[in-house]
Amino acid sequence: MVKVAIIYYSSTGTNYKMANWAKDAAEKEGAEVKLVKVPELAPMAAIESNPAWKAHYEATQDVPEATMDDLDWADAIIWSIPTRFGNVPGQVKQYIDQAGGLWAQGKLVNKVVSAMSSAQNPHGGQEATVLALYKTMFHWGAIVAAPGYTDPVTFESGGNPYGTSATVDGEGNIQENKLDEAIANQAKRTVTIAKAITASN
Amino acid sequence: MVKVAIIYYSSTGTNYKMANWAKDAAEKEGAEVKLVKVPELAPMAAIESNPAWKAHYEATQDVPEATMDDLDWADAIIWSIPTRFGNVPGQVKQYIDQAGGLWAQGKLVNKVVSAMSSAQNPHGGQEATVLALYKTMFHWGAIVAAPGYTDPVTFESGGNPYGTSATVDGEGNIQENKLDEAIANQAKRTVTIAKAITASN
Amino acid sequence: MVKVAIIYYSSTGTNYKMANWAKDAAEKEGAEVKLVKVPELAPMAAIESNPAWKAHYEATQDVPEATMDDLDWADAIIWSIPTRFGNVPGQVKQYIDQAGGLWAQGKLVNKVVSAMSSAQNPHGGQEATVLALYKTMFHWGAIVAAPGYTDPVTFESGGNPYGTSATVDGEGNIQENKLDEAIANQAKRTVTIAKAITASN
Amino acid sequence: MVKVAIIYYSSTGTNYKMANWAKDAAEKEGAEVKLVKVPELAPMAAIESNPAWKAHYEATQDVPEATMDDLDWADAIIWSIPTRFGNVPGQVKQYIDQAGGLWAQGKLVNKVVSAMSSAQNPHGGQEATVLALYKTMFHWGAIVAAPGYTDPVTFESGGNPYGTSATVDGEGNIQENKLDEAIANQAKRTVTIAKAITASN
């Protein structure tokens, strides 16, 4: 059974929603899934200054925090992260940087990986953020399986061939059509490739 | 008077339209503008197989082709290019590669540069293509002045903070609102910064 | 038997040498290998103005030119290309852009891919060029298997975790130690992953 | 007088050394310089587990920590950062992410920026890290003035045209020749362009 870690960071909920769509699709493909959140670095004062952030923070108190063990455990990783100035959020980079020990032991090699992103503009850094994450994955020796245009739904949901992406308006509404289907396709693809890789070991 | 080369490649007309919006805005700022097209590499058979491409090809026969002299002449360059698989078109790269001689003589240094892009999807490589071009501009010693969010119109037209970008549907219609205004803002910014740089020489 | 296309562009021979090291390693892993060169776009006058370029051009007259059929045929692709201003050469981009037809038919999906690069400086665009190519590969729905640090030889040969890279001095001498071993490791990894992917179909 | 913030992160001292070379050169150009360190996020246990990190940590206790006011104050910013898995360190990204307030007020616009990096391999992510930072700078509306090959010393010190870069061996020794001169050239260029931009306001 393929083990999939779905690792997300979300302040107001979009990437949590996307992570859950990926979880449903990965489980449907027979994967064992852990959905975990990247530890928060922002002070409570910042969180509380934004009602939507505070509400989401409280609503997800019971979601386990991502650990190094999750990276070690996983055959595949699906990341769901917002863009922060065209790159991964500080929280995500800080989490990733802690994997130096696993990396030095070669324990991150051959993870099958894909990523998803969100921003407030259609061209708001979604491409840049996914590509930034993949660069790091190459350092790990991961196998990157972006969705590309392997299914028409990627086109119908506005791209992104690097990783399914959301555009979120001021009220938190996702603008893309069929984003759930595009995410399901991406998650299925990640699981399928991870099955091939694990079967060959 | 600041000299601006607006260099575009366009098969069916979107990037030509965008280039002209940039031209109008740059001239309004008092710049001397040359609008030039990147030489075509595709065989006529390919062009003729696509009626929209053929029509645009014929309609722009009188637009001068970009030369190395245009790069040498310019104080500022504004690029308008479509994405091809997340990178600049082969035509554009081939044109750029010919600048090795100018580069070796240091004649490309301190050009003030920005770029625009288009694709068929909102997240169809627009970010990736502009960023790929800027990488090359760094090799040239250019000064890159992306629009960022220096004016609210960038947000209203859907980003892209790296360079104003269009999403074009199957009939060639631009999906973004106020794209002309966003391009005008970008062109104005490029000219303004080029004025500062040339004034200091 | 896994089918591997090793596609290179080389003006003075470094990337041809690297491509051949990859070929030897891939064949040792039992792959069926085609080594093909990207068609030249430069005029003969340019080639003849550089004795090293001319000599290499003539020495490789019998190497088959890369076609679209090679992309269709391959289970895996290993690219060996120099950097030109931090991006793939115009020749390579022009070749890639012709794959629009295969792409539209979904025939580029699940190719296992890795890339190598060279430049005249240790930090001369080697990273940037490999990453630019991988962006395009994501559009194709390829599976990108960079070497990472999956073997100590990548570190010993100076990186590059994205794809093995050469630094070439003015006389064409490769500066890295054990570059052949690093390339062999990368080629072996590409073949191994391609075996897993093809076995699962 | 042009105000330059030199913002660095360093665990064992290389990027601190590079930052100081930049400081000397910027002051020589008549700039007012603040050299500040990005706040540390690692726990003391991690720092103390590495003698070189601990020694550097203690030796730089009196260097002021970078604040949001430094970003607001500066006309130009020179970054000096190590690569962590091909991207900026978590510490740096976390610092950057806190600039959302300044960004929303347009206070980051037209900062003249360049960056430097270091890694343990010649192709160890130095290019990727500088380019990742520039992407973020575009979101800010900064003006990016990479060194390019504007002076022969960039070539002599091994590139990097995106931003001067060090390769550091296991004992902390910088491998490049003339790295101090290349950094001086980059800092001078950043100051010169910042003078032009501030003079035009």
The answer to whether D141 and D110 have CB atoms below 8 angstroms apart is yes
Contact C86 B136 (CB under 8 A): yes
Residue B100 at interface with chain D, using a CB cutoff of 8 Å: no
CB contact under 8 A, A139 and D96: no
Nearest to C199 among A131, A144, A200 (CB): A200
> Which positions ≥6 away from A99 have C-beta within 8 Å?
A68, A71, A108, A140, D85
pLDDT at A193: 98
Nearest residue of chain C to residue A137 (CA atoms): C148
Q: Where are the domains of chain D?
A: 3-199
**To the nearest whole angstrom, how far is the Cα of A87 from the nearest Cα of chain D?**
7
Test A90 with D97 for CB contact under 8 angstroms.
Answer: yes
Min Cα distance D58 → chain A (Å) is: 22
DSSP structure string for chain B: --EEEEEE--SSSHHHHHHHHHHHHHHHTT-EEEEEEPPP-S-HHHHHTSHHHHHHHHHTTTSPBP-HHHHHH-SEEEEEEE-BTTB--HHHHHHHHTTHHHHHTTTTTT-EEEEEEEESSTBSSHHHHHHHHHHHHHHHT-EE---TTSSHHHHHTTB-SSS-EEEB-TTS-B-STTHHHHHHHHHHHHHHHHHHHHHT-
- What chains are in contact with B, requiring at least 3 Cβ pairs below 8 Å? A, C, D
* Whether C144 and A149 lie within 8 Å, measured CB to CB: no
B80 CB within 8 Å of a chain A CB: no
User: Among all residues of chain D, which has the CA nearest to that of B186?
Assistant: D141
Average pLDDT score, chain D: 97
Give the tokens for residue D37: 């360190």
Q: What is the 3-state secondary structure (H, E, C) of chain A?
A: CCEEEEEECCCCCHHHHHHHHHHHHHHHCCCEEEEEECCCCCCHHHHHCCHHHHHHHHHCCCCCECCHHHHHHCCEEEEEEECECCECCHHHHHHHHCCHHHHHCCCCCCCEEEEEEEECCCECCHHHHHHHHHHHHHHHCCEECCCCCCCHHHHHCCECCCCCEEEECCCCCECCCCHHHHHHHHHHHHHHHHHHHHHCC
Tell me the per-residue pLDDT of D82-139, one tens digit each, with 9 for 90 and over.
999 999 999 999 999 999 999 999 999 999 999 999 999 999 999 999 999 999 999 9
- Which class would CATH give C3-199? alpha beta
In this complex, do D149 and B142 lie within 8 Å of one another by their Cβ atoms?
Answer: no
Would an 8 Å CB–CB cutoff place D102 in contact with chain B? no
Say which residues have a Cβ less than 8 Å from residue C131's Cβ, sequence separation at least 6: A131, A135, C162, D128
B79-127 pLDDT per residue, tens: 999 999 999 999 999 999 999 999 999 999 999 999 999 999 999 999 9
Task: Check the CA dihedral C114-C115-C121-C127 and report its sign.
Answer: negative
Residue A177's pLDDT is 95
Interchain pair D87, A90: CB under 8 A? no
Report in angstroms the alpha-carbon separations of A125 from A121, A138, B126, B128, B158.
8, 20, 10, 10, 11
Instruction: Report the pLDDT value the prediction gives residue B170, as an integer from 0 to 100.
Output: 86
Interface check C147 vs B, CB under 8 A: no
- Interface touch A141/C149, C-beta < 8 Å: yes
What are the pLDDT digits (tens) for C53-100? 999 999 999 999 999 999 999 999 999 999 999 999 999 999 999 999
**Please, which pLDDT band fits residue C201 given cuts at 50, 70 and 90?**
confident
pLDDT of residue A170: 86
> Which chain D residues are closer than 8 Å to C123 by Cβ?
122-123, 126-127, 158-162, 165
* Per-residue pLDDT at B27: 98
CB atoms D124 and C160 under 8 Å: yes
pLDDT tops 80 at residue B6: yes
Query: In angstroms, what is the C-alpha Rg of chain D?
Result: 16
Residue C97 contacts B, CB cutoff 8 Å: yes
Question: Within an 8 Å CB–CB cutoff, is residue D147 touching chain C?
Answer: no
Beta strands in D11-170 (DSSP E): 32-37, 76-82, 112-119, 143-144, 165-167
pLDDT tens for each residue of chain A, 201 residues long: 999 999 999 999 999 999 999 999 999 999 999 999 999 999 999 999 999 999 999 999 999 999 999 999 999 999 999 999 999 999 999 999 999 999 999 999 999 999 999 999 999 999 999 999 999 999 999 999 999 999 999 999 999 999 999 999 988 899 999 999 999 999 999 999 999 999 987
Omega of the bond leading into D160 within 30 degrees of 0 (cis): yes
Q: Which residues of C touch A114 (CB under 8 A)?
A: none
pLDDT at B78 over 80: yes
Host H or E run for residue D20: helix D14-28
C-alpha–C-alpha distance, residues A8 and A15, integer Å: 6
Q: Chain B: residue nearest C140 by CA?
A: B85
Give A73: exposed, middle or buried? Use CB within 10 Å, 0-12, 13-18, 19+.
middle
Which pLDDT score is estimated for A181? 98
Residue A124 and residue B86: Cβ atoms within 8 Å?
no
3-state secondary structure of D34: strand
pLDDT reading at D156 higher than 90: yes
For residue C122, give the nearest of D125, D131, D159 by CB distance: D159
Secondary structure element (H or E) that encloses residue C3, with its range: strand C3-8
Report the pLDDT value the prediction gives residue A147, as an integer from 0 to 100.
97
Chain A residue numbers touching B158 (CB-CB < 8 A): 121-123
Taking the Cβ of residue C198 and every Cβ of chain B, the question of whether any pair is shorter than 8 Å is answered with no
CA distance A96 to A102: 11
pLDDT band at D170 (very low <50, low <70, confident <90, very high): confident
For residue D130, give the nearest of D181, D92, D79 by alpha carbon. Answer: D79
Q: Does C103 touch chain A (CB under 8 A)?
A: yes
The residue of chain C nearest to residue B43, with distances taken between CA atoms, is: C98
> Cβ A161–B124 below 8 Å, yes or no?
yes
User: Which of D83, D84, D120, D127 to mutate: most C Cβ within 10 Å?
Assistant: D127
CB under 8 Å to D97, separation ≥6 — which residues?
A: A84, A85, A89, A90
Contact B175, B168 (CB under 8 A): yes
> Chain D: nearest CA to A3, how far in angstroms?
24
pLDDT at D201 over 80: no
**Sequence-separated (6 or more) residues with CB below 8 Å from residue A131:** A162, B128, C131, C135
Chains that touch D (3 or more CB pairs under 8 A): A, B, C
Tell me: pLDDT of D35 over 90. Answer: yes
Which chain C residue's Cα is nearest to D168?
A: C158
Question: Omega into A201 within 30° of 0, i.e. cis?
Answer: no
| ipTM here | 0.97
Nearest-Cα distance to chain B for C129, in Å, is 9
Tokens 């699940």 found at: C110
pLDDT (tens digit per residue) in C150-197 = 999 999 999 999 999 999 998 889 999 999 999 999 999 999 999 999
Segment D178-190 shows an average pLDDT of: 98
pLDDT tens digits, residue range B131-166? 999 999 999 999 999 999 999 999 999 999 999 999
Q: Is B163 on the interface with A (CB under 8 A)?
A: no
Nearest residue to A187 via CA among A147, A141, A143, A156: A147
Question: What pLDDT, on a 0 to 100 scale, did the predictor assign at position D24?
Answer: 98
Judged by a CB distance cut-off of 8 A, whether residue B103 touches chain D is: yes
Nearest to A138 among C135, C148, C197 (CB): C148
Which residue on chain D is closest to B131 by alpha carbon? D135
Q: For residue D88, what is the DSSP state?
A: -
